[in-house]
Every structure is written in C-alpha cells, then in structure tokens.
Structure 1
Amino acid sequence: MIVSACGGEEGGPWSGAEDTASKALAETSAGLAQPSPAFIPQPTGPCPEFQDGTLTFRPAGIPARAVRIWMSDAARTLDGPLVFYWHGTGSQPTEATTGIGTTQIEAIKAQGGIVAAPTRDPAAGTFPWFYVSSTSRDDDFRVADEVLACAIQKIGINVSHIHSMGMSAGGLNTTQMSYRRSGYIASVATYSGGRTSTIPTQDSSNKFAAMIFHGGPSDQVVINFQTASQNYYNDLKSKSQFAMLCNHGKGHTIPTDARAAVWQFLQAHPFGTVPSPYAGGLPNTMPSYCQR
C-alpha cells in the first residue's frame, strides 16, 4: 500500500438551507450538535436507489463513480451513522471489512447506518486518491458529498454521525477529508495516515476528533507514517482538538485488535463533541498503546 500526499485547493458544490438538508437536520437525534445546513451538500446528479451492494453515483461535472455500500433494511426506518472508508494503494473497497471489521459493519447496519467505500478513479494516477497523488482535483470528496446528499434524500441519516476511516493512502485521504469536509465530519480514524502538508480547513469552528494509528519506526512506505501521524496529532492538539495517538508497533498494517475500540471512539464523538468524553482519561477499552 504505497502512498504519497500533497495539498490542494478547496472545491465542490455547496448550497444553503435547502428543504432536503433542513429535513435531515430536523430529524437528527435530539440533543446532538449538528452541521450547519450550509455545509450539507445537495445532490448534483440522479441518486441511485439505496441497497446493499455496489451503486453508481453521478456527481455533476466529474465521471460517474462506483461506491460499495453496506446497509440493511433498518436504514429505511432508522437514521443511522454514515461511515466513509478509503482503501490503500493496490487494494479495493472491500478492504473496509478488514479496516472497520465485519462485526462493526453489522453493528452500523443494525443502527440503520451505512458504510460507503468509493472505488478509485484511474485518472488519480499512481495512488488511488487525487489529493494523495499530489493533484488538486476534489473529485473524491465530491463523490463523498454525492453519497451523503443522496443518502439523506433517499433514506435519511443521522447527520451528527458522519465519519471517515482509511488505511495508508486511504488514511492520508481521511486526513485530507477531515479538514476539507470539516463542515460535516464528526470524527475520524486513520491507520498509517497523517499530515504531510498544509491542508485548507472548510470549517475551523468544528473541532472534530481523531484516533490516529501508526506502526512505529518501521511504518515506512515512500513516506514515514510515524512522522506523518505525529504531525497530524500535533496540528490538531495545537488547535485544541481532541486527538489520540496510537503506536501499535506492527509496521504498515491495520491493527485489527483495535477495531472495536475505533467504532466505540467514533460513536462517542458525534459532531461538535467538545470537550471529548475522553478528555479526562481514556476508557480501559481503548488500546493500551494509545495516548491522548
């Protein structure tokens, strides 16, 4: 899973408090902070009918993109979370079953939630995602916007629980998404991802939380992921955002022992959760190698 990274300029279609977004916000669980309607995207193309499997999304102005969706019929009656998963170089969307875990995916589905793992556009180049391949194209996040907008339109989601995860190139892309879509991202988890350059922030008022994993000194493929992860952690802490840094010590791998803890972390950090419930100390269910 080889990776590189670079920043770029913000882009993508946005609208104000349109009917669909307002309805979704109104139906979100009471008591939770919510993204501003200005940051909730509207569909820009025809939305597919949501079902478990691979669906095609057609955002205006960019090529159509296949996205692997995991969901159940519970999504038609419950407004659950939406978790994006970005795979590593040489991998594919089904990596989500390893990165998130099948048990956790089933838990998300039972809550009426959706896991969405986009396929790559070959035009991205050597690496699967445009910003990771040192381009300034916002296509991948415009696809994510379309998935979110269509999910709201077709079945409804809990907009306080929009999260992102990824490994390697996908971890770097999750880092990019956390800043570039901070208008709606609640919290994220990165496996061997991190920050290698300055990334523009969409909504600096949203202090999203992050659980940041790396594999120690041997976590190196093109770049040093221990350093990149430390840089991400340091930047968030400098902005008074809650972050956990977790050195699992196993090199460039997904720490499968931590998947239950990651899902617990995301659930504990919906949009606008400040201070973090972990600010006073990490739960004993968190990996022993994590620090805050």
Structure 2
Amino acid sequence: MPRGLILVLLSCISLLTACSGGASDDDVPLFDADGDAGADGDLPLSDGDDQPLPDGDAPADGDEPTDGDNDDEIVDDGDITEEPEIPDGDVPDGDIPDGDILDGDVPDGDTPTSWRCDSFGYDLQEGVNQGFSSAGKTRNFTLVLPDDIDTVEEPLPVLFFFYGSGGNMADWVTAFQVRSNVNKPDFPFIGIVPESLGLFPPGKVAFDWDSLVYDDQNPDANVDAAFVGDLLACLQEAFPVDVNHIHAAGFSAGAFMANLCAVAYPDLFASVAAFSGAYFSDPAQTACVIGMCAEWTPYAGENKFPALLVWGTKGDTYSLVLMTFDFAATGQASIDYLTGMGHDVVACTHDYDGHVYPTPLSPWIYAFFKAHPYGTVDTPFADALPAAMQDACAVHEGE
C-alpha cells in the first residue's frame, strides 16, 4: 500500500470545511489522485435519503436511547429521523433533554454550581466552559456530568469526544449522545467535548485539531495534546476520577485526535474509538507535501490499548483538489498496525452513504469503553460481541 494519508496542500486550504474519508476494497490506496469528490459533511437524515446539513453540523438527532437501555440493545432499528436543515451553530428545539443547560446558560435566579481545580485557577461548571488557559491558548470545552456528581461515592470514568473539522460543541454533544448516556447506572461518566482552535496551514501543519504532527521529544508543541493533558489534570483535582477508565472517541479529524491521545498518553488512555480515522504513527499512513509531514512519534507505550475502528462501506471518502482520503484503506492499515504491536482491534463497518458520522451507532462507544478498562489485553468481545454489533463487527486479536 502506498504511503499516505493526509497533509493538506496549501493551495487547498480554502476548501477545508469538513474532514473526511472513505470506504473501498483493501487494495485501494490511501489516497487516489483521481478520486471523485466525496460528500462534504453530508449526514444521512433518513434511510435512502442523504439530505445534507450545513457544513460541519452534527447528524440529525432523534434516535438517542433512553437511560437504562440494555447494552445488548445498542441500536433500535438503525433509522435516522428526517429533520429540516439546521443553520450553523443552532440546535433544533427538543434536541436537549428537559432540564439540561446548553452553552452555559443558567435559568434566571439560579447560580451555576462550580467545581474548583486550584492548579489552573479555574472553576468548572456543567455545560460550556470558557477561558481555560492551556499551552498559551485560551480554550473552551463542554462538560457533561451525571446528575449525582455531588454525591457520587465511586470514581467516575472520563470520556473525551472530538468532532470532525468544521463541527461545533453543541451539535456534537448531541451527535455523540453524551447526555443520554451519562447517567446510565452501570457506566456513569464525566464527558468532555473540547472545542478546536480551527488550525490549518500555513499557520500550522494541522487539520482543525493539532492532530497531524506529534513529537514526544517536544510534546508541548502540540497545543491540543497539551490541552487534553491539562483538562484531565483539572478534572482529577475537581472530581473523583477512575484512572482505569479514561477513554477518547472521535470522528474524522476528531478521530485523528482521539487516536493521538493514546499515542501521546500511553499510560493514561485505556481504549480508543475512532470513526473514520487514522494513525500517523504508522509509516503506511504518513505523508509529506511541500516539506510538511503528517507524522507522529512511533507508539512506544507498554499499554496494549484495545481500539474500536469504524468506517463506512458506501463512499466514506472525501476529496480535495489533488487527493482523496480513503478511510476504508486507513481502517485496514490501522488493523495491521495495531495488531502487529499486540493490540486487539474491534473493526466495524456501516452502510450509510458518504462520509458521515452514524449517530445511531454511538452506543457502541459506551459499550466498548465499559468493557475495556486500562490494562485490558484480550478483549472480552472475542468471546461474544454485543448483539447489536455482531453483524457489523469483527475482532482482530493482537499478534
């Protein structure tokens, strides 16, 4: 397979509004210079109807499971309810459960509850947090907490969620179904949805997130890796954190970032879920263009973290002027890369059209993280996959 996965040409920067990838047979190269243009952020709204939302918007909501759903019933029927187009940044009425606070808004007369992390001089609150200082940057993030956060006695897992290029926090809290899963009695957690800085060349070799270049000899140069580390340190001061259940999930450019978390912090992250992603620590998935390279330090951790890899089989590609990103190819390459280092991989496909995040499959993330705490070497899914994943997924055991 030719070397490659992404590096955005300077002449293409104005076209970048959504990171993408694609599905193909195993012998398709990581990029195809003559490939057809993929769906630019299109998201399926109903079976057989690919009506696009505005670039960067999250998939239409409506199929979120309610608290207490059986883990084996991860997806109800795979349908996505058709909804009208949503203007950028807006959230349709009804997407936020009653009583939830969106974007830090507080009902009149109420004072938001906060939790202090002294090392950062910062007060955390439920919802959108602004003005957090990390690596010389002022950062924002959304914090989603279980209802009993002030009385919980057991340490809580921490789950990071990273959206694709052009996305926003509000839409992707909904797309990842964070609020509808945070209170599950068998796996409550602290959810973090960071906001990207919108980084691109020529200012930085990056793709919205600082996820293309990482050097463990100069880790502070990667502002998003530093941001993740600082957020985690702050959370550990403010809340009881289960150090055996720290996980990252993402889609597209956000999947690059989720995978980077495991490479940059091998002693912290228990497992990772990547929807249409890649590993730039794998020589088969790196590339250089005009002297700029998408490349991470090779993974050197002893933690054989399990990985959930998901991609589409119906045109999960995204084309720029001179290249096509093929996430089926990077998915296959990631299986070979990870299993070759001894990591177990659960690889899954979906049949939604184009480069989309399949919102109805979000419960797979929570089932996978619950079953794979830190130190898991042999995935329990090798014995039995959850019922809803059996037709779409296969286990690849580490060598």
TM-score clears 0.5: yes
Amino acid corresponding to residue 139 of structure 2 in structure 1: R
Change (3 A) 1:243 1:219: same
1:143-182 Cα offsets, whole Å, 9 max, x none, are 1111110111111211111000111110121122222222
- Tell me which of 190, 207, 217 is aligned to 1:127: 207
Greater radius of gyration (CA): 2
1:68-88 Cα offsets, whole Å, 9 max, x none, are 111135233342111101111
Residue in structure 2 matched with residue 26 of structure 1 by the alignment: none
Residue in structure 2 matched with residue 93 of structure 1 by the alignment: 169
Larger deviation, residues 44-53 vs 271-280: 44-53
Change (3 A) 1:138 1:106: same
Which SS does the other structure have where 2:389 is aligned?
coil
- 5 Å-filtered alignment, 1:229-244, equals 229-244=331-346
Residue in structure 1 matched with residue 74 of structure 2 by the alignment: none
> How many angstroms apart in 2 are the aligned matches of 1:120 and 1:242?
30
1:100-155 Cα offsets, whole Å, 9 max, x none, are 454223438x95521111111134557320124x5864111111111110111111
Residue in structure 1 matched with residue 43 of structure 2 by the alignment: none
Change (3 A) 1:243 1:69: same
Residue in structure 2 matched with residue 248 of structure 1 by the alignment: 350
1:194-222 Cα offsets, whole Å, 9 max, x none, are 22336335652101111101012511114
Which SS does the other structure have where 1:72 is aligned?
coil
Distance apart, 1:53 and its partner CA = 1.3
> How many angstroms apart in 2 are the aligned matches of 1:44 and 1:58?
13
> How many angstroms apart in 2 are the aligned matches of 1:123 and 1:45?
27
Distance apart, 1:46 and its partner CA = 1.6
Change (3 A) 1:148 1:202: farther
Change (3 A) 1:288 1:112: closer
**2:250 and 2:274 in contact (8 A); partners too:** yes
Change (3 A) 1:235 1:135: closer
TM-score, normalised relative to structure 2: 0.58
> How many angstroms apart in 2 are the aligned matches of 1:189 and 1:135?
19
Residue in structure 2 matched with residue 212 of structure 1 by the alignment: 309
> How many angstroms apart in 2 are the aligned matches of 1:216 and 1:89?
21
Change (3 A) 1:286 1:189: same
> How many angstroms apart in 2 are the aligned matches of 1:261 and 1:227?
22
Change (3 A) 1:287 1:50: farther
> How many angstroms apart in 1 are the aligned matches of 2:163 and 2:183?
19
Aligned length: 252
Gaps of 5+ in 1: 6-42
Change (3 A) 1:201 1:115: farther
Gaps of 5+ in 2: 1-17, 22-29, 31-116, 216-220, 280-284, 287-294, 320-324
1:33-75 Cα offsets, whole Å, 9 max, x none, are xxxxxxxxxx89524223211223212x421211111113523
**1:99 and 1:254 in contact (8 A); partners too:** no
TM-score, normalised relative to structure 1: 0.77
1:64 matched to 2:138? The reply is: yes
1:81 matched to 2:157? The reply is: yes
- Tell me which of 232, 253, 265 is aligned to 2:368: 265
Distance apart, 1:281 and its partner CA = 3.9
Which structure shows the higher strand fraction? 2
- Tell me which of 326, 332, 335 is aligned to 1:224: 326
1:237-258 Cα offsets, whole Å, 9 max, x none, are 1112111111112231122232
> How many angstroms apart in 2 are the aligned matches of 1:233 and 1:75?
37
Amino acid corresponding to residue 82 of structure 1 in structure 2: V
Residue in structure 2 matched with residue 22 of structure 1 by the alignment: none
Greater relative contact order (Cα < 8 A, sep 6+): 2
